[in-house]
Structure 1
Amino acid sequence: MSPALDASKDATSHEVMRLLLKAFDEAPDPEQKQSAVVLINLVNFIADTEQLAAVEDYINNRLDYAPLAIAHFTAHDEAEAWLKGLEEPPSPARILIGDKYYLAWYSREDNARGIYRDYIIEPYIAELAARGIPPATPSFDTRAEAEGWLKNHPASPFDFVSIAGEHYLAVHHKRLMRHTLHPVASALTEWEETKRVQGAAETEEGGE
C-alpha cells in the first residue's frame, strides 16, 4: 500500500484498497491477480499524486450533478443534420434527443460521424430510486403540467415527479435551460434489457 494512502484518513479509499487486496488474495489464476494489481497500482497512484480528496468528493457528490449534454434536439433527424453540418464536431459529445441521452462521435481520419444511444442517466435513476422515491412527490395529470411546474421549481438537479400515476425522474439541464423527464420503470427495464443483450453478444463472441 502507498505510504500516502496509508497515512490518509480517506475511508472510501481504504475500503477500496481492502477489497482489492482481498480480491488479489482470492483470485484463482494469475490473469485475475494481475488485473487486481493494476487496480491496486491505480489507487496507489491516485494517493501518491494527492488526488484522493478529489476522488472522494466525486464519489460522495456524484449525484449532485447531472451528466452534461451540449445540445438538445426534438428529433433524431435534427441531431443528424446538426452533426453533418459541423466541419469538425466535438467528439465524443453527449447530446439529448427528446428525453434520451445520445453520444455523438466523429473520426477525423475518414470524416465519419454518427450518433448512438448512451445509457448514462440510467445508473442515476437506479441509484436514486433505490434510495427511495418520496411518497409525496409532486403529481400532475399531464407532462405539460409537470414541465410548467418545473420551470418555476427547477430540480437541483434531480427530482421525482408523478405524471398520470407514473413516476419520472426530472433532470435539470441548466446550460440548456430545460428539464428531461425519464420514466423510472420503463427506463430501467430498457436498460436491463440492453445490458442483457450486450452481455449475450459478448459471451457469444468470446465463445467463437
Structure 2
Amino acid sequence: MTILDTLNEAQRIVGHYWKEDQSPEQARILGCARDALSFISSTGQPYRFEDYRKRLQAENPSRESSPSGTYQAPDVHEPSRDLAETTGELVHRAEGFFERSRDELRSAPERALALVIIDALRFIDSTGQFDDFKRYLQELDSNEPPRVVASFDTREQAEAWLKNHPSPPHCASILIAGRYHTVAYDRETNGRYLPPSRDLEYYLVSLKQDSPPTATASFDTRQDAEAWLNAQSAPPRRAWVLISGELYLAVYQPNVNHRALYPLSMADGFEINTEVEPESA
C-alpha cells in the first residue's frame, strides 16, 4: 500500500466515528482529523510524512501494537499563543480523541489506520505547520478554489521547475497558463509528470450546485474584467462576474499571486447526477 493509499484509507476511520447526531465538538474534532489527512496530500507532503512515520517506527518498533496512552509523543513545535488557543488546541484535542478511541476499534488494521491519523496530527505539530494548516482550514471553510503550490505561464517553465526540484510536491496542484495540473512524482524511479487535473471543473460544479451564482459586477469585455481584477490590491478570493452576459468566476490565489477569470461553462459535462431514478414496475 502506498502512502497515498494509507492516507485515503485512514479517512475511513474518521467516517467510522462520524454520526449524524454527534456533538458540535466531536464534529470539529473529526473534521480536523479528516482535514489533516487531506492537508498532507494537498500540500505535496506524502513522502515527507512517510519518512516521518518511518522515523517514529524506528524509534519505537512496537508502537502500532502498544495500547493507547503508552506511546510517548515526540517533541513538538511550540505554537504561537493565538494558534495554541485555536488551531493548535483543536489538533491536540483531535489527537487525544483518537489516542483514547484507538483500542475500541475491532481489528489491528483499523487500529493501525487510527495511528496514521494520530501521526498526521503530530506531523503538522512537530513540523511547525500550524499557520499553514490554519490557512488551509480557512480555505475549506470559505470554499475557496482548490489550493495550488505554484503557478507558471508556460508548460516549459513548469517542466523546468519540476526537473530541477530536489523533492517535488507529489500530489499537489500547480497552475500552467491558468489551468490545473497535478504534480506526480515517483521517488523510487525519479519519474516526474504533470498530468492535467479537473479539480477546477468539479469545483465550479460544486459552486453551481450549492447556490445559484449571482454576479457582483458586470463588464462588456473580458479585457474590462481583467483590468478590474488586476487593479484591486486585495481582490476577493472568489467572486462571480458577468462578461458579455456570461458568468465567470473571478479568482485570486494570494500564495502564488494569481488572478484569473474562469467561465462557468467550464463545468458543462462535469455535473454529477444525484437524483435517484424511480424503479421500473
Q: Structure 1 length as normaliser, TM-score?
A: 0.60
Q: 1:129 to 1:139 in 2, by over 3 A?
A: same
Indicate the residue corresponding to 2:16 in structure 1.
41
Would the aligned equivalents of 1:172 and 1:178 in 2 still touch at CA under 8 Å?
yes
Q: Out of 156, 163, 168, which is 2:248 matched to?
A: 168
| Cα displacement (A) at 1:116 | 1.2
Q: Out of 203, 208, 224, which is 1:129 matched to?
A: 208
| Cα displacement (A) at 1:74 | 1.6
Task: Give the whole-Å Cα distance in 1 for the aligned partners of 2:206 and 2:235.
Answer: 17
| Cα displacement (A) at 1:149 | 0.8
Task: Give the whole-Å Cα distance in 1 for the aligned partners of 2:144 and 2:242.
Answer: 22
Q: 1:179 to 1:168 in 2, by over 3 A?
A: same
Would the aligned equivalents of 1:64 and 1:156 in 2 still touch at CA under 8 Å?
no
Task: Give the whole-Å Cα distance in 2 for the aligned partners of 1:133 and 1:179.
Answer: 23
Would the aligned equivalents of 2:155 and 2:176 in 1 still touch at CA under 8 Å?
yes
- What does 1:20-169 correspond to in 2, within 5 Å? 41-43=16-18, 52-54=27-29, 62-133=141-212, 136-153=215-232, 154-169=234-249
| Cα displacement (A) at 1:179 | 1.3
Residues 62-115 of structure 1: CA distance to partner in whole angstroms, max 9, x if unpaired?
344332111111222221222112232121221011221111111110100101
Q: 1:39 to 1:52 in 2, by over 3 A?
A: closer
Q: 1:101 to 1:51 in 2, by over 3 A?
A: farther
Would the aligned equivalents of 1:170 and 1:182 in 2 still touch at CA under 8 Å?
yes
Task: Give the whole-Å Cα distance in 2 for the aligned partners of 1:158 and 1:191.
Answer: 20
Would the aligned equivalents of 2:168 and 2:185 in 1 still touch at CA under 8 Å?
yes
| Cα displacement (A) at 1:136 | 4.9
The residue type equivalent to 2:18 in the other structure is V
Q: Which has the higher strand share?
A: 1
Residues 125-171 of structure 1: CA distance to partner in whole angstroms, max 9, x if unpaired?
12322355555542223333212211344543211112233211111
Q: 1:137 to 1:90 in 2, by over 3 A?
A: same
Q: Structure 2 length as normaliser, TM-score?
A: 0.46
Task: Give the whole-Å Cα distance in 2 for the aligned partners of 1:134 and 1:40.
Answer: 31
Would the aligned equivalents of 1:137 and 1:161 in 2 still touch at CA under 8 Å?
yes
Paired residues, number = 153
Task: Give the whole-Å Cα distance in 1 for the aligned partners of 2:182 and 2:224.
Answer: 29
Task: Give the whole-Å Cα distance in 2 for the aligned partners of 1:156 and 1:55.
Answer: 29
Task: Give the whole-Å Cα distance in 2 for the aligned partners of 1:149 and 1:180.
Answer: 11
Task: Give the whole-Å Cα distance in 2 for the aligned partners of 1:93 and 1:40.
Answer: 24
Task: Give the whole-Å Cα distance in 1 for the aligned partners of 2:174 and 2:17.
Answer: 31
Stretches of structure 2 lacking an aligned partner (at least 5 in a row): 1-11, 33-136, 272-281
Q: Out of 251, 257, 276, which is 1:177 matched to?
A: 257
Percent identical pairs in the alignment equals 32
The residue type equivalent to 2:237 in the other structure is P
